[in-house]
Structure 1
Amino acid sequence: MTSPTFRRVGGAALAFTLAVLPTSTARASQPEPVSVDVTVTEGTNLAVATSPRDGTILFDLQGQLFTVPRDGGTATAIGGTNLDPYWPSFSPDGKLIAVQSLADGMFRIRLVTADGRSSWPLTRGEHDDTYPAWSPDGTKIAFSSDRAGGEDIWSVDVRGGEPRRITTATTAENQPTWSADGRSIAYVQGNTIESIDVATGVVTTLVPAGQGTVAAPSWSPDGKLSFLRTGQGGRTVQVWQAGVVRQVGAYTDVFPFPARWSSPTELVYGANGAIVVTDVVSGSSTTVPFRATFTLHRDRYQPKARDFDTERPQPVRGIVGPALSPDGRSVVFKALNDLWVAPVGGTPKQITSDAAYEIDPAWSRDGKQIAYASDKAGTEDLYVLDVATNQHRRITSLDGAEFAPAWSPDGRTLAFQDHANQTLTVDIASGAVTTVLPGSFSVPGKPSWSADGKVLALTVNSAERNQIQLVTLATGASKVVEPAPFGSVSTRGDDGPVFSPDGRWLAFSMDGVLWVLPVAPDGTPTGRARRITTEASDAPSWAGDSRTLLYLRNGALRTTTVDGGGKDVPLRFTYRQEHPDTRLVIHAGQLWDGRDPRPRTNVDILVVGNRIQRVEPHRPDRPRDGWTFLDASGSTVTPGLVDVHNHQQMRSKTFGDRQGRLLLSYGITATRSTGDAVYRAVEDRESLAAGTRVGPRYFMTGEMLEGTRLTWEFARPVRDERQLALELSRVRDLDYDLVKTYERFRVDWQARVTTQAHRQGIGTTSHYLYPAVANGVDSKEHLFGPSKWGFGFAREASFGGPYDDVLQLAARGRMPFSTTLFSASTLLADDPGIVDDPRVRALFTTQDKQALHAKLLCAQGLGPCGFLDGTPAQARRDIDVIKRLLAAGAVVVAGTDAPLDTTAVSLHLNLRSMAKYGVPPFQVLQSATLLPARQLGVEKDLGTVEPGKLADLLIVTGDPTHDISALANVQWVVKNGTPRTVDDLIGPFH
């Protein structure tokens, strides 16, 4: 073992060693489940069907099927918690139930016996089959499917077999319903309802486009058609008969499922929290009372041990973008906020040593130069390092961010990407820039050059999978190819595809492991991909021999060959957490300590090192020797703020060094990731802990665990049990602070992930209330956010909801909701000066300033609004949901979804929105301080201002216990015992 060497940067000592270091901290004990029964009498977005045999009512409440007698009473749960059903309906004989189910990872039409004891898939394949509807004779089921590319109506025999396509238009058709004679099927197309003659294919428009939107048609036995219409006043039931449309029933919060005909004159449906029966002749309605009981299994587990004070060396796991040199002898990578080169088997050496944000190092084909991105000149630009002379040369200086450089084979050109998700090239000699691919909402992967320099390959999101795009530079022509049938590259980051230097292979990570795909010179596949590793594998890079590949395995480096057979690259080094030698006295005019609703006055807070030593009445005669005094006698001290829903790596390459400074300058001393590129996340956490980067504490997670279809670049599709085990190994080895499962992740796997996470002492989160809350998931993101279903507010909110089911499940299950109030941007109209704040001027990019200004114009009614911008009415409605959750005893914590919402500023707007529309200031303040610390399992260290706690403090002018907007009037922010002013933070970018 070599002797360690040390370097001190910003108070952090870094040690390098080849010793094998432990890869995990002490783990928590086995979780102990606690069962909680929750009985509810109202439902939010419940779907209803009736049995033709005996009138039994079937309803889907929060993803659990129940049956209840026709006259109401105690409901019986059927079908289990893993069925994940949607759009239920009885067969004409009442013996079977058809549902749309995601139980096995794809939407299938699934049949369930009426007692719920057995179920089986009727459709199969890598397609989404949705919205089942029984034929009148019970022999067929019509459904929507994308199995032909678009969305069409299909039918399938209930005994099985191949589905038959019914509609063939280029438009999307869905939500079918059979006519009583079985000759035609009505469905939704755009904002109309059409009907197709099954035998002839003749299409007739029944309900033309009008105001609002239409959905959920349902034929009656005598030829009437019910459907739903949604407008500004809510959602109502309408009935079409012989071309005439009228509203039936007075309910305006009708849930977005078909109103089912129990007779030619009677409709049964869900609305306003109830099961409703409406007579379409008289228009009178009654409700069917029910009592439905959920059994929740909530884990008690010990949070993982986090030692914020240790001075022991910690293993560096945050190795980002490692690249093997052409001669196979050296590795370049990012770690601890700098770039490093290490001989294979040797000690790493820094090639940058500054506070700038460097990323994406890449070797030239001859190994003489390294390209990378850095914001050392203010914004992220491309640089080239001459390895022999150690000279750095700036290549780009555009207004924005440039990163992900890739060398052309002749060394004359760099391909790269920018903040707008464009792919471009730059001529190194002249600086001339050419656009290769325009930007889009979807973030692409890093580009790679073909051996002849004629083609770029990169990962893009196509058909909800991470597929490979090949672009011919001379013509701009491009095509998308699958890495494997229905397969996805693991992430659109560093996971490939990467051309081998000889152009014969594309290497990439898929299903969590490395594959090589044989290709023609232009990247067109010439055979099937072949797996070459079996452990969790990311970030492949080639040696010049086109045979050897370097990759990351959960924070460790390994090599393999195209024929398999990997071996470890013993490259490990350590860092030490930053420990300031602070001896600080803060004289606070007011102190809100995080626990008492009322602030204390005229106190001294003594900070030694990184912790609060004492909080006591102010002593004007206190000895000053050896202490730094901070006069906050005209100010208020609070705990530092926490943003519990943040995607810190989503735009880290664009923000660079500004991001952490921006967050701190607004008093945010901790962030909680809810989905990020994992190796960048680990590197960020380590750099912030070591003090080599300025910013808040960072509680990280990796990519969201997702089903086989995905959208976001920070999600990982999981296709099978083997891969699930690999993803759990990554959670363990990289010491996640949280695991997030996303929209289409199977609920049985979600339960398994939760059990494993709790064994490690960490929480899990998702977008779903149930069955997540029944399976031990710890929290829910968003009051109502995007989901796997095709309607906007998922199961947790409707026009008038949430109702008692949501409130009780959240409260009794102790499942916190994060706010993510995009509608809070309307409060910019109350304080337009935000857009000209010095922090905004100095630390926002040009593009972020433009986006914030557009939000202000929207809020003032002077400009167009983006799809995420809200209205004052929406803001009031959102806060009404929060107030109802709080009144029920549920927990709400403040989060933003930044940078999808405005970084740092949006947390203050969330808090102001809550306060403006009636949440008491004490509850608002705790939502961003004590409650997040409790949720993260760090209440003994953070969240309040008390002796023994970490010194993460916010010092502001004004009194936020009466005026929440005072939280933005930051004078000082103290993180880990180190005080900084706003000027300190924005200084490098002023």
Structure 2
Amino acid sequence: MSSGFFSRRGFLNSAAGMTVGPAPAAVHAGGGAVSDAEEEAPVLTYHELTGGSVTARPGGRTLIAEVQGVLWSVPRDGGAARQLTGWSLEATRPALSPDGGTVAVCGYRGGGFHLWSLRSDGGGLRQLTDGPWDDRAVAWSPDGSRLAFSSERGGSSVGGSAYGLWTLDVGSGHRTRVTGGAFDDIDPVWWPDGRSLVCVRAAHRADGTGDGGLALVRVALAGGEATVLRTVTEGRLLCPSVSPGGRIAYLHLSGTSSSPSLPAARATLMVDGQAVSRDEDLAAAPPCWLGEDELLYVADGRVRIRTIATGATRDVPFTARMSSPRRPWRPRARVVADNRAPVKGIHLPALSPDGRHVAFVALNALWLMPLGGAPRKLLQAAPVHDVQMPSWAPDGRSLLYCTDRDGLVAVRRLRLADGGDELVAGDGRLYPALSPDGSRLACQDIAGNLLERDLATGRERVLVRPLATDGPPGAPSWSPDGRYVAFCDRNRLNRRFREGYHLIRVVDTLTGGERRHLPAEHQSLSDRVAAGPAWSPDGRWMALVAESALWLLPVTAEGAPAGPARRLTDEPADHPGWSGDSRTLLYLSCGRLRLLDLDSAAVPVRTRRLPGPHLIARRPAGGPAERLRIHAGQLWDGTGDSPRQDVDILVHGNRITAVEPHRARRPAHHGIDASGQTVVPGLIDSHTHPYTATYGARQNLAALAYGVTTAVCLGGPLYEAVRLRESAATGHSLGPRHLACAELIDGSRTAYSMGRAHRTRAGVERTLRRATALDVDFVKTYVRASGRVMAQAAETAHRLGVPCGSHLCSPGRAAGQDLTTHLQATQRLPYGHATTPLGHIHQDLIEQYADGLFSLIITPFTAQYLLGGDPGLAEDPRVRNLLPPWDVAAVQDRAKNPPTAAQRKALTTEMANYRRLAAQGARLALGTDTPLVPAGLSLHLALRALHAHGFSPAQALRCATTVPARLFGLDADLGTVRAGKIADLTVVDGDPFTDFTALVDTALVLRDGVAHRPSDLVGVHRARDHRPPQGTTWLHIARAFQRGSCCRFGDGPDARDQYT
């Protein structure tokens, strides 16, 4: 076994390098000529820019334009563009040197924003800055000797940093800090004398956010107080540009929100405080002065030149052609035909204090397995409930676990000797851990607060609140003296962008003080679910997972790092846990349990590969044994534009055997009378995330009750996602079938609990090995994953026969991915290349999707506003009984308020984008991003929004049936109602082809040939008053969850932070 160290200087002294993954073959990754293979590939042709930028030198003959992350040289009067850079550089905001010979850009190659330069002919590409901090928004000094930029440099990897202004001497490489303080300075540009800079300044707020940038200021390089040039009271300022004579042009966005899914109300081009354009769709890019009265900028998707005095404009037409190779791959069938399969979804295994047993959850049951023996089932949850999170009592005589059988997730204790079972903590308590003396419980509440509960008195107190609201923190782990609790949380490195590091947070239960630590500088733990830290019972070590490998961090009695972390494994690792003598570590690797024996110095002695657990997932042979006939008054079978009338759907087991005209008598068939109803294929939600930690089984029940028969996970804890897939497939959990996806594959920084952080190539490879071993159905990269990691993930997915996607159309398509999981959500750029600040799309974006080779999962968050137009939806028993109380509060709150004019405009803009894409041939699948919005109901709101804005009933329904079935390789079994297909059917009490709002009235759902009535499902949980966490309300919690998400749609206060 090899080992390595995290040094406290921020290096990984292991075999892992700092670069990640190769670009796919035949993909143009750098400047230069395009290969013959690329010339034969599909070609994307661009005439417009969405989120692009342009620059030029006064009197120059060419422009430098950035279109979808690639630089192009364009003749000054228009014409054919010449490609200067490849896709993997991800060049943005080009700045042309005063002599016109050199272009400076901000690039993302390698997984961080840094400054690069190249000659204006595309040669001589050179990286100018590097390191763990982001450098953005570059500008040349008037004499061409220096570059100004905005950077986080100078901060702390634990405490974060503000964005300040820096300069770089191009000749020597020397960097000089200009500003830094309780504000963010962004978008710098030089004053004509070269002795000061103009920038946007965003003030910091007490709640940890920023105001977005309400002031333009001028700062001298020599220091001193900034001079305020312009201020606004709302919205944000961005992208100033100064003419040689000192005139200042800039953009003002008004009517903004903190959401990446909501557009601004207006974008105004300003010069010296006066509006020169109010009615253009402006790109979030700096205008460029061509003279004292002439501006070059991007508006309405066009490169435009404006004469300020007269208001006259002219566009510069261009044609840019870029090769888009697509490596063919074969989707494999995702519906398993084999009736038996080994169980891989092992949830949170826990080693007993005596080191002789392992407790774990699988197939919705709690199991106990002696080492080397067969597992014994301790408890089987009912299919309508969930069991999870086993944890040992210190004496080894009982197990704590969580279940939602009483409504919300609660902690219970199971005595092993007699099977006695008692409630320990209810009303939404999760991740239980008993103190070493067994007298106190550490756990979390629904809001992610770390609690301490005295078991003798029942008294409970909040120790600390979470740093982030985008998923719960990790499980608590006690120090051996019971004074300290360690757990994994996430910091935020700056106030502009939400990403940070998964770090170790140690709380003193006596004083309430806390400390935060990383295993090394700028080194994140892998995630907040499976990565620890697990404090050894002797107090000397914390076991943790970073770069998807197992590490030991020596710690003091207070939990502070006492030296460099040591890597124990080369293989992927998850869920570390200790034996009571601190001599054995249990962990999961690629679905298998491992025991690592350590000597007294915690040096590995041997690794034991435990057999099993030999659990077999026995998939039901199908639906009921008798033959079934559904008499449909009308059937829309997933094809055509109109339903068929008076049809019999014959089912045997879980398969449709025939679809025929109705006959009054069919011997040997059990009948379901839907003669007054409409039958459609079972609905598919193409974008979900399993949040069983807080939702228990409610998310599944609510989705099924609204007719959703397949839920596609697009990111979740890997073992949990596979556990849910297996439990649903075997009938141990009731709900839609699940397609499983591992954690979001991210860069060195991340946001969500399920975001998997990586600095190294080796870490990415381990993560992809995990996904392959557990046979995921989708591979997703996230916002900070570099283009090369995106390409590596796509290659792995395609070897598995499954699709791969991300938030980013560029560079997603170029990297070989198959789709984006939203049109517009969190991007790594402030605004990205998907929509403009006003929410519109242009031809270059449409071109990404128009040939059908690259697909789009649409997630219409603005459809939530439709609740205010139909408040009766909030009183549906499926809302009141099946959704958790925070979702109920949010639905009822939205239902009280009819959509405002701004909200209606945002919805109309979003729907118009989807209509344009569909008209050009784009493949659109419909998802919700549940549970960021309520399960089940939100799919119907999205369908209503599509229909209300121009989609026919059949067109809207295809987005939730046939298109996703094809997209995810399910079309041989799902998506249409035909002989031979699986009997997934939704029966609607009404006719959605004459009244589309009737679609929400689900009368019956068949999944795998088994019928479920929503009226039965709502009886699982009766509506009751659960207590919210101390000092808050359920509505406040719902809004906090929204503020922490990638796709907020306007609830709660406007945080005004930037969009990633």
Deviation per residue, 1:439-486 (Å, 9 max, x gap) = 551421111101100011011111300011110011211121112111
Residue 110 of structure 1 contacts residue 123 of structure 1 at CA under 8 Å; is this kept in 2?
Answer: yes
1:823 counterpart = 2:855? no
1:705 counterpart = 2:745? yes
Which one of 77, 81, 84 corresponds to residue 75 of structure 1?
Answer: 81
Per the alignment, residue 101 of structure 2 pairs with 95
Measured in 2, the distance between the counterparts of 1:955 and 1:466 equals 45
Measured in 2, the distance between the counterparts of 1:246 and 1:52 equals 23
* Letter in structure 2 aligned against 1:347: A
Q: Post-superposition shift, 1:393?
A: 1.2
Per the alignment, residue 508 of structure 2 pairs with 472
Per the alignment, residue 263 of structure 1 pairs with 291
Q: After the TM superposition, which residues 432-581 of structure 1 pair with which residues of structure 2 at under 5 Å, given as runs?
A: 432-439=459-466, 441-442=469-470, 443-462=472-491, 463=493, 464-560=500-596, 561=598, 562-564=602-604, 565-573=606-614, 574-579=616-621, 580=623, 581=625
Distance 1:367 1:140, change over 3 A: same
Q: After the TM superposition, which residues 169-318 of structure 1 pair with which residues of structure 2 at under 5 Å, given as runs?
A: 169-190=181-202, 191-232=214-255, 234-240=266-272, 245-249=273-277, 252-311=280-339, 313-318=340-345
Residue 152 of structure 2 contacts residue 164 of structure 2 at CA under 8 Å; is this kept in 1?
Answer: yes
Deviation per residue, 1:798-828 (Å, 9 max, x gap) = 4262111111221125322222111111111
Which one of 323, 326, 330 corresponds to residue 357 of structure 2?
Answer: 330
1:856 counterpart = 2:909? no
Per the alignment, residue 1043 of structure 2 pairs with none
Which one of 843, 847, 850 corresponds to residue 811 of structure 1?
Answer: 850
Measured in 1, the distance between the counterparts of 2:248 and 2:837 equals 24
Per the alignment, residue 165 of structure 2 pairs with 153
Q: Post-superposition shift, 1:546?
A: 0.9
Q: Post-superposition shift, 1:860?
A: 5.6
1:751 counterpart = 2:791? yes
Residue 296 of structure 1 contacts residue 813 of structure 1 at CA under 8 Å; is this kept in 2?
Answer: no
Which one of 993, 1016, 1024 corresponds to residue 961 of structure 1?
Answer: 993
Task: Provide the identity percentage.
Answer: 37
Measured in 2, the distance between the counterparts of 1:389 and 1:407 equals 20
Q: After the TM superposition, which residues 408-423 of structure 1 pair with which residues of structure 2 at under 5 Å, given as runs?
A: 408-423=435-450
Measured in 2, the distance between the counterparts of 1:381 and 1:35 equals 55
Q: Post-superposition shift, 1:250?
A: 6.1
Measured in 2, the distance between the counterparts of 1:430 and 1:821 equals 48
1:763 counterpart = 2:803? yes
Q: Post-superposition shift, 1:895?
A: 0.7
Measured in 2, the distance between the counterparts of 1:607 and 1:379 equals 37
* Letter in structure 1 aligned against 2:674: A
The worse-fitting range, judged by mean Cα deviation, of 957-966 and 255-264 is 957-966
Deviation per residue, 1:854-877 (Å, 9 max, x gap) = 22234466xxxxxxx981111111
Residue 266 of structure 2 contacts residue 278 of structure 2 at CA under 8 Å; is this kept in 1?
Answer: no
1:696 counterpart = 2:736? yes
Residue 46 of structure 1 contacts residue 270 of structure 1 at CA under 8 Å; is this kept in 2?
Answer: yes
Per the alignment, residue 168 of structure 1 pairs with 180
Query: What SS is found at the alignment partner of 2:165?
Result: strand
Measured in 1, the distance between the counterparts of 2:304 and 2:422 equals 71
Which one of 119, 128, 144 corresponds to residue 150 of structure 2?
Answer: 144
1:905 counterpart = 2:937? yes
Q: Post-superposition shift, 1:963?
A: 2.5
Per the alignment, residue 122 of structure 1 pairs with 128
Q: Post-superposition shift, 1:488?
A: 0.8
Measured in 2, the distance between the counterparts of 1:510 and 1:951 equals 43
Residue 78 of structure 1 contacts residue 116 of structure 1 at CA under 8 Å; is this kept in 2?
Answer: yes
Distance 1:839 1:200, change over 3 A: closer
Measured in 2, the distance between the counterparts of 1:658 and 1:767 equals 27
The worse-fitting range, judged by mean Cα deviation, of 200-209 and 923-932 is 200-209
Query: What SS is found at the alignment partner of 2:511?
Result: coil
* Letter in structure 1 aligned against 2:75: P
Q: Post-superposition shift, 1:184?
A: 0.7
Q: Post-superposition shift, 1:262?
A: 2.1
Which one of 612, 621, 631 corresponds to residue 665 of structure 2?
Answer: 621
* Letter in structure 2 aligned against 1:599: P
Q: After the TM superposition, which residues 756-905 of structure 1 pair with which residues of structure 2 at under 5 Å, given as runs?
A: 756-791=796-831, 794-799=833-838, 801-859=840-898, 871-905=903-937
Query: What SS is found at the alignment partner of 1:469?
Result: strand
Deviation per residue, 1:372-409 (Å, 9 max, x gap) = 111222321111111222211111233xx211100100
Measured in 1, the distance between the counterparts of 2:328 and 2:367 equals 43
Measured in 2, the distance between the counterparts of 1:268 and 1:860 equals 38
Q: Post-superposition shift, 1:36?
A: 1.0
Q: Post-superposition shift, 1:740?
A: 0.6
Residue 277 of structure 1 contacts residue 285 of structure 1 at CA under 8 Å; is this kept in 2?
Answer: yes
The worse-fitting range, judged by mean Cα deviation, of 33-42 and 711-720 is 33-42
Q: Post-superposition shift, 1:320?
A: 0.8
Distance 1:196 1:723, change over 3 A: same
Per the alignment, residue 1039 of structure 2 pairs with none
Query: What SS is found at the alignment partner of 1:871?
Result: helix
Per the alignment, residue 770 of structure 2 pairs with 730
Greater relative contact order (CA < 8 Å, ≥ 6 in sequence): 2
Residue 852 of structure 2 contacts residue 921 of structure 2 at CA under 8 Å; is this kept in 1?
Answer: no
* Letter in structure 2 aligned against 1:942: L
Q: Post-superposition shift, 1:431?
A: 2.3
Instruction: Normalising by structure 2, report the TM-score.
Output: 0.87
Query: What SS is found at the alignment partner of 1:584?
Result: strand
Residue 547 of structure 2 contacts residue 766 of structure 2 at CA under 8 Å; is this kept in 1?
Answer: no
Q: Post-superposition shift, 1:161?
A: 3.2
Stretches of 4+ moved more than 4 A in 1? 30-34
Query: What SS is found at the alignment partner of 1:216?
Result: strand
* Letter in structure 2 aligned against 1:147: R
Query: What SS is found at the alignment partner of 1:884?
Result: helix
* Letter in structure 1 aligned against 2:285: F
Per the alignment, residue 1054 of structure 2 pairs with none
Per the alignment, residue 10 of structure 2 pairs with none
Distance 1:354 1:254, change over 3 A: closer
Deviation per residue, 1:545-567 (Å, 9 max, x gap) = 11210000011100113323422
Measured in 2, the distance between the counterparts of 1:852 and 1:870 equals 19
1:609 counterpart = 2:653? yes
Residue 582 of structure 1 contacts residue 977 of structure 1 at CA under 8 Å; is this kept in 2?
Answer: no
Per the alignment, residue 680 of structure 2 pairs with 638
* Letter in structure 2 aligned against 1:930: T
Per the alignment, residue 261 of structure 2 pairs with none
Residue 688 of structure 2 contacts residue 929 of structure 2 at CA under 8 Å; is this kept in 1?
Answer: yes
* Letter in structure 1 aligned against 2:318: F
Q: Post-superposition shift, 1:211?
A: 5.0
Per the alignment, residue 1036 of structure 2 pairs with none
Q: Post-superposition shift, 1:209?
A: 2.5
Q: Post-superposition shift, 1:922?
A: 1.4
What runs of 5+ residues in structure 2 fail to find an aligned partner? 1-25, 28-36, 155-160, 203-213, 256-264, 494-499, 1023-1060
Measured in 1, the distance between the counterparts of 2:42 and 2:902 equals 37
Per the alignment, residue 398 of structure 2 pairs with 369
Per the alignment, residue 20 of structure 2 pairs with none
* Letter in structure 2 aligned against 1:884: R
Distance 1:638 1:358, change over 3 A: same
* Letter in structure 1 aligned against 2:479: S
Residue 144 of structure 1 contacts residue 153 of structure 1 at CA under 8 Å; is this kept in 2?
Answer: yes
* Letter in structure 2 aligned against 1:46: G
Q: Post-superposition shift, 1:724?
A: 1.6
Per the alignment, residue 922 of structure 1 pairs with 954
Residue 466 of structure 1 contacts residue 491 of structure 1 at CA under 8 Å; is this kept in 2?
Answer: yes
Per the alignment, residue 341 of structure 1 pairs with 368
Deviation per residue, 1:502-524 (Å, 9 max, x gap) = 11111110111011111111101
